[in-house]
């Protein structure tokens, strides 16, 4: 089966190489992506039209959702589910129109729904995958399997099809066909487990759903060779040059939506997760970390990724890690786990925290805890502490809040933890101590609003022998909007 699929790919690629049409000025010809029309020598090369702009942010919509219970009668029984309905558009007739369309679209899919295994009880549910940039995307699930996706434009209530998310002129069918084949081959799964014949092609209006980072292509059982209902995930960074829908309709949200105070500007960039085993002088270390992908400035992208990789290797080869004993797993010589994760990715700021844990994950190594921040607008490495303290120099009320919240959250440990007699007494914590001993970072908070985090190392506070964090809502300390503060 694998040979058949790979041979199919080779034939398609060769067909696209033979073509000789000259592309237009704004059309990119990609010989590595096959045409979906025919496989003979007269097939034109795939046309890929790059988008001319990419919005720097995903602006969350100022609308919310509630769920209403609905029941749909079908030939095989009655299905019930809680259906999402939006509220928060100032134009209530448009809001009602969108909600009615959601009902009709979902009910239509349920009416023709057939369970793949009648012996398993079925629960249908809907969840939103995107609520930003005047777009609202939901997906209908059968237990945990996607059945169908829907994408609505909040400016006029129009339902968008698969072709509507791509730049005009792009041969999105060929683009997605090739990407799906690559995803199947690279997934590590046996093709026999998901296909009964080589993958053929998507339909023009193939079912899909979309998030801010992934396009999900949904196939019914038997469709395009799939032996069961399947959702193929395509990371948007792979095709972002040609996916224009996230960049088209944003701009009037604050005028047309009621909950503008809830809007957050998430960076419209992509991170992929990496994992590897690193050998140090005596043992091995597991490492998990992000890498920026698809960013338009390749030089700054490489700089960020190099800093992240350097941070991983520094920790893996540090004396603290080398001196650790191996874990209890006899089959492994692992001594530690290095983890870096993105804590904040909004308003042109990226903040990444590094933690290093002992092999059994029971304790983090405090001396190796570190913060890395970047400012996308200026393409520079950022010091979060410097940014905050520069602002607070002229805002004493903010300083008072930082001190009061810090003191109130530095509580003694539970009885199960061993207290220490070192460090400063909580009652003596002041702003100078916080600046000297605290590590500052930003973190996505409740509802994705920014939080200011101040981290103190172990034994810095009397009675606390572990690293402890203080969390303060950003808008409690900073009286300017995040757009103004981070500009």
Structure confidence at residue 17 as a pLDDT band (50, 70, 90):
very low
pTM metric for this prediction: 0.83
pLDDT of residue 103: 96
Here the tokens at position 426 are 């909580």
Per-residue pLDDT averaged across 255-268, rounded? 93
pLDDT of residue 337: 92
Residue 32 pLDDT exceeds 80: no
Per-residue pLDDT averaged across 451-465, rounded? 90
Residue 168 pLDDT exceeds 60: yes
Yes or no: say if 365 and 356 are a contact pair by the CB < 8 Å rule.
yes
CA distance 338 to 331: 19
Over pLDDT 90: what percentage of the chain?
Answer: 62
Structure confidence at residue 333 as a pLDDT band (50, 70, 90):
confident
Structure confidence at residue 157 as a pLDDT band (50, 70, 90):
very high
Structure confidence at residue 451 as a pLDDT band (50, 70, 90):
very high
The pLDDT tens digits of the residues spanning 357-391 come to 987 766 889 999 999 999 999 999 999 999 999 99
pLDDT of residue 92: 98
Residue 443 pLDDT exceeds 80: yes
Structure confidence at residue 189 as a pLDDT band (50, 70, 90):
low
The pLDDT tens digits of the residues spanning 80-108 come to 899 999 999 999 999 999 999 999 999 99
Over pLDDT 70: what percentage of the chain?
Answer: 86
The pLDDT tens digits of the residues spanning 99-140 come to 999 999 999 999 988 888 777 888 899 999 999 999 999 999
Yes or no: say if 83 and 67 are a contact pair by the CB < 8 Å rule.
yes
> Which of 31-35, 336-340, 378-382 has the weakest average pLDDT?
31-35
pLDDT of residue 143: 84
pLDDT of residue 342: 96
Structure confidence at residue 46 as a pLDDT band (50, 70, 90):
confident
Q: Which residue has the tokens 């209902």?
A: 229
The pLDDT tens digits of the residues spanning 226-253 come to 988 999 999 999 999 999 999 999 999 9
Structure confidence at residue 356 as a pLDDT band (50, 70, 90):
very high
């Amino acid at each position: 089966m694998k040979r058949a699929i790979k041979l199919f790919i080779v034939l398609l690629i060769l067909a696209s190489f033979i073509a000789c049409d000259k592309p237009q000025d704004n059309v990119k010809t990609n010989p590595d992506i096959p045409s979906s029309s025919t496989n003979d020598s007269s097939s034109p090369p795939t046309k890929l039209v790059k988008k001319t702009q990419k919005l720097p942010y995903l602006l969350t919509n100022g609308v919310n959702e509630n769920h209403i219970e609905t029941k749909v009668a079908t030939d095989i029984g009655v299905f019930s589910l809680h259906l999402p309905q939006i509220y928060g558009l100032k134009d209530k007739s448009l809001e009602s129109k969108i909600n009615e369309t959601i009902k009709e679209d979902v009910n239509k899919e349920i009416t023709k729904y057939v369970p793949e295994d009648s012996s398993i009880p079925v629960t249908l549910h809907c969840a939103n995958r995107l609520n930003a940039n005047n777009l609202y995307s939901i997906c209908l699930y059968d237990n945990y399997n996607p059945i169908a996706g829907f994408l609505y434009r909040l400016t006029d209530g129009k339902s968008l099809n698969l072709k509507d998310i791509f730049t005009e002129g792009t041969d999105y069918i060929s683009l997605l066909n090739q990407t799906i084949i690559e995803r199947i081959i690279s997934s590590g799964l046996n093709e026999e487990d998901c296909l009964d014949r080589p993958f053929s092609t998507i339909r023009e209006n193939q079912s899909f759903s979309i998030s801010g980072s992934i396009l999900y292509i949904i196939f019914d059982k038997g469709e395009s060779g799939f032996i069961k209902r399947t959702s193929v995930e395509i990371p948007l960074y792979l095709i972002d040059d040609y996916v224009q829908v996230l960049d088209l309709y944003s701009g009037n949200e604050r005028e047309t939506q009621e909950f503008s105070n809830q809007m957050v500007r998430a960076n419209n960039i992509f991170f992929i997760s990496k994992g590897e085993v690193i050998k140090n002088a005596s043992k091995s270390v597991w490492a998990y970390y992000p890498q920026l992908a698809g960013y338009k400035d390749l030089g700054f992208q490489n700089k960020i990724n190099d800093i992240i990789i350097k941070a991983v290797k520094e920790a893996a080869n540090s004396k603290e890690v080398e001196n650790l004993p191996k874990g209890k797993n006899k089959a492994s010589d692992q001594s530690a786990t290095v983890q870096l994760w993105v804590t904040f990715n909004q308003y042109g700021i990226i903040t990444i925290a590094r933690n290093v844990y002992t092999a059994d994950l029971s304790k983090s190594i405090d001396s190796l805890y570190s913060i890395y921040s970047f400012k996308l607008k200026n393409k520079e490495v950022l010091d979060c502490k410097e940014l905050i303290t520069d602002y607070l120099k002229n805002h004493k009320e903010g300083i008072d809040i930082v001190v009061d919240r810090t003191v109130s959250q530095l509580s003694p440990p539970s009885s199960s933890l061993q207290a220490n007699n070192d460090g400063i007494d909580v009652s003596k914590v002041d702003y100078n101590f916080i600046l000297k001993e605290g590590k500052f970072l930003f973190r996505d908070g409740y509802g994705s609003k920014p939080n200011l985090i101040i981290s103190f190392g172990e034994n810095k506070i009397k009675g606390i022998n572990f690293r402890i964090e203080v969390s303060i809502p950003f808008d409690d300390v900073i009286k300017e909007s995040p757009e103004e503060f981070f500009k």
